[in-house]
Amino acid sequence: MYIIDNKSYPCCTSVTMRFIGGKWKAVILHHLINGAKRYNELRKVIPTITERTLSLQLKQLEEDNIIDRKVYTEKPPLMVEYTLTDFGKTLLPVLEAITQWGIAAPINSKKIIKN
């Protein structure tokens, strides 16, 4: 049994999914693998995510210490960048496995059509 923020998780897989589960977190993290991205850059590479959802997911990932949010205020306009933390980088093997599975999935399933 694991406890995070006073909530119990029955196994290690549920702990992992607590941090990267859902429709968008792994996608956001995938786009941060190669370095820092600004909010608008993330919006462009994930066009089907709503602004509200992206903001909420980024806040959750930041609260969980998976990503770091850096605000540049030296000169207008205000710029915010997101990067993986050292803790977030420990997820790289998991994200790589998810990516590789997604690449192979259309080959192995008739249900998936790649455009």
Q: Does 63 map to a domain?
A: yes
115, part of any domain = no
Say what the pTM is.
Answer: 0.89
Burial of 12 from C-beta contacts in 10 A (0-12 / 13-18 / 19+):
exposed
For residue 56, being part of any structural domain is answered with: yes
Task: Write out the residue range of the structural domain in which residue 37 sits.
Answer: 2-98
pLDDT for 30 beyond 90 = yes
Write out the DSSP string of 13-27: HHHHHHHH-SSSHHH
- 51-65 confidence digits (pLDDT tens): 999 999 999 999 999
> Is residue 27 in a domain?
yes
Per the domain annotation, does 111 fall within a domain?
Answer: no
Count up the domains in the chain and report the number.
Answer: 1
Evaluate whether 78 touches 72 at the Cβ level (below 8 Å). Answer: yes
Largest CA distance in the chain: 52
Is residue 112 one of the residues assigned to a domain?
A: no
CATH of the domain at 51: 1.10.10.10
Is 19 inside any structural domain? yes
